Amino acid sequence: MNDVRDRSHRLNRATGIARHGRLRHRNPVGTAMKALSGVAAVALVSTASVAAIAAKQVTDDFGDGVAIQGQPAQPAKGPAALSSYQGGFNMLVVGTDNDPEQGTAYGERDATLNDVNILLHVSADHTNATAVSIPRDLVTPIPACRKQDGSGTTPAMAAQPINSAWGEGGLNCVVQTVQGLTGLDVQYSAAVSFQGVIEMSNAIGGVPVCVAQPIHDRYTGLDLPQGTSTLQGDQALAFLRSRHGVGDGSDLGRISSQQAFLSSLLRTVKSNDTLTSPPTLYKLARAAASNMQLSQSLNDAGTMVEMGRALQDLPLAQVNFVQYPGTTGGTGVYSGKVQPSAELAAQLFAKIRADQSFSLGADSTGIGAERAAGAGSAAGASAAG
């Protein structure tokens, strides 16, 4: 897919779609982010056999699930559903920044935002997958959505940053917005809290990442030495939230580190036999179910088992981590935000809809891998293999 690549890695130029990025150390810029990573995108669908271990406990944690407009609740399949998922699927994982149970541990917030949005597509034959990170400041129409309290419907809006969708109608509204933006039908969705990231990284024993220079971020408390570190718990969350120590200090730079973490997470899950380890799967499933809001279509252990088994034999070389194409430096409603690159996005999602495997150019790295003008050697972070 040589025509679909990152056309620019700096502000005021096209941002294209970038493979999982590397990080560089940079002076703090702006304010601390209010979001967490989409680590759950892989962790959630990797719970391959947990229903056979403790389906009752996990199912109790699911709750009733979130009703999604245009999406019927999925009949429970129960613990006996141990076959692989038939066909392809799209799942949206949302990272929210304001969980009432976390108190003020990460600062006081007067609203909840969907600051991380990752759309995972798995092909019908389970031979390739693509995870698309959607920048939180990407400007897009937000449709009319049912209010979370059931009191009516919010008005449609023409041009808003996508991270305002949660405030209009919770997970349901984020799903409706992403479907309109991408043209893809999202069958499954989940929202993860800060605590969810911590618990799931603990469940698999940590994720190794490698940084080319030390990262010190006083806003998140992240303090990483040069080289490889295995991250879990609060440190994993800090890495995924940090933007002041990476790239250009923007959210686009942070997406690179999130994708690097997810890439390493996937390798870790597959290399340490997590998909065939009942104890690890059980811990991972409990962590996910206890700290996530799931759509009604997903809050069933049997469905999660089938999805996990579909990914069990997925070749790692055929998993792409990309960024929704956009540009910065626009004016009007796009001032200080990210403007979608319609033509490039159309190419990307045409490939995804057709289940076509594609590769990105060698220059397709995120802002986190770029060297700033006048800076010294570029520093990077990558997923440790």
CATH number at residue 195: 3.40.630.190
- Burial class (CB within 10 angstroms; exposed 0-12, middle 13-18, buried 19+) of 8: middle
Q: What percent of the chain has pLDDT over 70?
A: 68
- Strand runs labelled E in 135-282: 139-142, 157-161, 188-192, 207-211, 215-217, 222-224, 227-231
Report the length, in residues, of the chain: 385
Q: Is 72 contained in some domain?
A: yes
Q: Is 287 contained in some domain?
A: yes
**pLDDT value for 14:** 40
Domain count of the chain?
A: 1
Residue bearing the bigger pLDDT, 106 or 352:
352
Q: Is 17 contained in some domain?
A: no
Q: Is 365 contained in some domain?
A: yes
Q: Is 292 contained in some domain?
A: yes
Sheet holding 207-211, edge to edge: 227-231, 207-211, 381-383
CA distance linking residue 337 with residue 35, whole number of Å:
17
Looking at residue 146, the DSSP 8-state letter turns out to be: B
**pLDDT value for 253:** 72
Confidence of residue 37 (pLDDT cuts 50, 70, 90): very low
Q: Is 14 contained in some domain?
A: no
Confidence of residue 74 (pLDDT cuts 50, 70, 90): low
Which structural domain, as residue segments, surrounds residue 315? 40-369+378-383
Strand, helix or coil at 367? helix
Q: Is 127 contained in some domain?
A: yes
**pLDDT value for 368:** 47
Say which range, 3-17, 136-150, 228-242, has the weakest mean pLDDT. Answer: 3-17
In this model, does residue 182 exceed pLDDT 80? yes
Q: Is 12 contained in some domain?
A: no
pTM for the structure as a whole: 0.76
Say which range, 80-84, 92-96, 291-295, has the weakest mean pLDDT. Answer: 80-84
